[in-house]
């Protein structure tokens, strides 16, 4: 099976036996998923595909990745996240393990040379093609703890935990801020009995805000960093909530909520991907109680009105600042 993405096409042409290697933060690509090796990822969707195929999987925040023959790190668009991956691999894999780093040139992969040099690791360029570059080195001892990547900041009187792998790292997204401004007027004020699903929880701002108001909160995200960030955010504010990894509704079969709130993603690295948001909207009626409502914020240009019409037969716009819109759609009681 041939590689589909440019980074994997570059790897495919290498005279390398990647059996027993660890693919770190890889994209979805059939060449990887039907080939050899094992996967280390923060993406629950990627891990599920590999697990269903009977392949070895490791979650990003685990402490044991085994002793692979080597590792290939797919450099992310977020530079600080790439640094975290390097520190994590140096911390958990044996010294001297072969490491290759591959990425798109316009995604900043060439910065890897300076990053590895700062960590005291040598590096050389192995190959380049299809506007991608492949570097290689060997892992060594690094005294920096990957935990330093975690930070905290304050919003709405709440302490939020953040990681470079989380959307909106270290700040409140403007769309989420607009959503928060609308929620007091449209959510019931009764405590305890009101259940809310925070879909795509990120750093946990919505989950914490809702829990502080007394809602029974369930927060899910496909990203392991976001799941951990939300858990840390709730703990930092002495709030309760259920937090778990889920690829949209995959972990929520049969469950219904009085409200679903979300600032859904529409990017996968540098590509636009409406798939998760379309699933969020399309399947929302099956996860709402009678009279339940879906409230989401999105960039104004995104084609969500048609999706909301198809799923609910109508919707209303709660706010529109020309950049973002807050939509509400509901079921009949």
Question: How is the chain split into domains, by residue range?
Answer: 6-146, 150-330
> Which residues in the chain show pLDDT less than 50?
267, 269-270
> Which architecture, in CATH terms, is 6-146?
3-Layer(aba) Sandwich (3.40)
Q: The whole model's pTM is what? A: 0.94
> Please, which residues have CB within 8 angstroms of residue 139's CB and are 6 or more apart in sequence?
71, 89, 90, 93, 94, 95, 96, 97, 99, 121
- Looking at residue 269, its pLDDT comes to 45
Q: Which of 233, 242, 183 is nearest to 213 (CA)?
A: 183
6-146 and 150-330 in the same fold: yes
Give the residue ranges of DSSP H helices in the chain: 6-12, 30-33, 44-52, 79-92, 112-118, 174-186, 205-212, 224-236, 275-283, 304-312
d(CA 32, CA 167): 26
- Looking at residue 266, its pLDDT comes to 65
Fold of 150-330: Rossmann fold (3.40.50)
- Looking at residue 125, its pLDDT comes to 96
- Looking at residue 200, its pLDDT comes to 96
d(CA 172, CA 158): 11
């Amino acid at each position: 099976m041939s590689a589909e993405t440019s980074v994997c096409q570059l790897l495919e042409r290498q005279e390398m036996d990647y059996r027993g290697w660890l693919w770190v933060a890889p994209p979805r690509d059939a060449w990887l998923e039907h080939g050899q090796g094992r996967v280390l990822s923060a993406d629950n969707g990627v891990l599920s595909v590999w697990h269903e195929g009977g392949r070895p999987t490791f979650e990003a925040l685990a402490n044991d990745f085994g002793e692979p023959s080597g590792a290939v790190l797919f450099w992310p668009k977020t530079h600080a996240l790439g640094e975290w991956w390097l520190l994590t691999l140096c911390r958990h894999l044996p010294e001297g393990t072969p490491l290759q780093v591959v990425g798109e040139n316009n995604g900043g992969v060439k910065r890897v040379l300076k990053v590895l040099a700062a960590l005291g690791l040598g590096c050389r360029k192995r190959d380049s093609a299809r506007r991608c570059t492949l570097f290689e080195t060997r892992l060594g001892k690094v005294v920096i703890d990957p935990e330093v990547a975690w930070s905290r900041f304050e919003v709405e009187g709440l302490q939020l935990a953040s990681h470079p792998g989380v959307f909106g790292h270290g700040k409140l997204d403007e769309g989420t801020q607009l959503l928060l401004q609308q929620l007091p007027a449209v959510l019931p004020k009764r405590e305890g009995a009101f259940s809310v699903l925070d879909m795509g929880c990120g750093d946990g701002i919505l989950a914490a805000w809702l829990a502080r108001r007394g809602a029974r909160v369930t927060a899910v995200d496909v990203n392991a960093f976001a799941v951990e960030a939300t858990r840390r955010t709730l703990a930092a504010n002495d709030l309760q909530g259920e937090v778990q990894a889920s690829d949209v509704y995959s972990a929520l079969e049969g469950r219904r909520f009085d409200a679903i709130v979300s600032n859904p993603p529409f990017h996968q690295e540098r590509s636009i991907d409406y798939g998760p948001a379309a699933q969020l909207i399309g399947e929302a009626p099956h996860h709402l109680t009678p009279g339940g409502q879906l409230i989401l914020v999105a960039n104004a240009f995104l084609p969500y009105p048609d999706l909301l019409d198809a799923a609910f037969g109508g919707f209303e716009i709660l706010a529109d600042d020309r950049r973002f819109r807050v939509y509400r759609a509901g079921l009949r009681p």
